[in-house]
Structure 1
Amino acid sequence: MSAHRLPATLFGTVVIVLGVAVVVASRQIKTGFTYDVVGPAMFSNLIGIGLVLSGAASVISARRASLDDLPDQPKLNLWPVALISAALLLEAALISRLGWIPVVATMFVAGTYAFGDRRILSNAVIGLVLATLILLVFTLGLGIDLPLGPLEPLFQHNQ
């Protein structure tokens, strides 16, 4: 196998293995009633089968590719990936202490900055508004409590 085909072939193989793992894991899901046509495992089976088919298509495409078919590869820019990864790690570490709103707003600003938007103040305001709306929808609408951190006294209600 030539080196230009190796990354796509490896990617396709990993996707196939992941798809098989999803199908095998879905066999462990308990089924509903015997008359249920659509059980809880059906969607995970569909996802697993889709992954296997996608991986197979990727491997076949990689095997058929010639050097003439390959476009010039652009230079890989890892800056956005590194910045968003760092923001996700900080979010996981700080969300219980600082709460949903400031952490998600900061994550929003980091994401926009990583992809080239340098309007930090306006993105912070947008992030605060979106984080607050999401918090309200989850807390009031769905009854799911998100971590509030120091803002918890503002959201306490009499029980």
Structure 2
Amino acid sequence: MYLRIRERLPDVVAAILTLLIGVFALAESSSYDMGALSNMGPGYFPRMMAIAMLLLGAALLVAALKIGPTSFPATGASVWSMAMICAALIAFALLIERLGLIPAIFTMVFLSTFASQDRNLVRALVLSAATSLFCALLFVYILGLSMKVIVL
């Protein structure tokens, strides 16, 4: 029995951490006005995300206890992959106000695609263009957020 719990411990810990984050977010968002679905208040989205985190944590805990342990390759994470993900996040933070939404998201997605072992320049360009255009369409034109799309 001890061996079975020991094998599943990383999954159980991840599930418990997800549940704790959900509880924390729910407690923090409870002081904000919820509003209604047609007129959302500032607490609506955080509360819904907290509930989603609680449901996800519960599902992860059930899966960790019912299903066998998760196995990962013994090689671990590569330094190159971690560096590319960090570079992508830093590039987004530096470019979002200077150049706008489309160049920042394009650069972030482009850099993060090279964190994979299966690197492909054409796929990275297509994915970056599609993601940045979709985000601009969604956030600026559909949701009406006041963001700069491209700064010339």
TM-score category, normalised to shorter length = 0.5 to 0.7
| Structure 1 residue 17, shift from structure 2 partner | 0.8
Q: Distance in 2 between matches of 1:136 and 1:71?
A: 38
Unaligned runs of 5+ in 2: none
Question: Would you say 1:11 and 2:11 are equivalent positions?
Answer: no
| Structure 1 residue 13, shift from structure 2 partner | 1.0
Q: Is the 8 A contact 1:94 1:103 kept in 2?
A: yes
Report percent identity of matched pairs.
26
Q: Distance in 2 between matches of 1:92 and 1:107?
A: 9
Larger Cα-atom Rg:
1
Unaligned runs of 5+ in 1: 152-159
Q: Distance in 2 between matches of 1:129 and 1:60?
A: 36
- Equivalences for residues 142-153 of structure 1 within 5 A: 142=144, 144-146=146-148, 148-149=150-151, 151=152
1:11-45 residue CA offsets vs partner (Å, 9 max, x unmatched): 1111111121122123211244xxx6987456644
Q: Is the 8 A contact 1:138 1:146 kept in 2?
A: no
Q: Distance in 1 between matches of 2:98 and 2:111?
A: 19
1:90-110 residue CA offsets vs partner (Å, 9 max, x unmatched): 220233334444333222322
How many positions carry a matched residue from both structures? 143
Q: Distance in 1 between matches of 2:134 and 2:82?
A: 27
> Match of 2:114?
113
When normalised by structure 2's length, the TM-score is 0.63
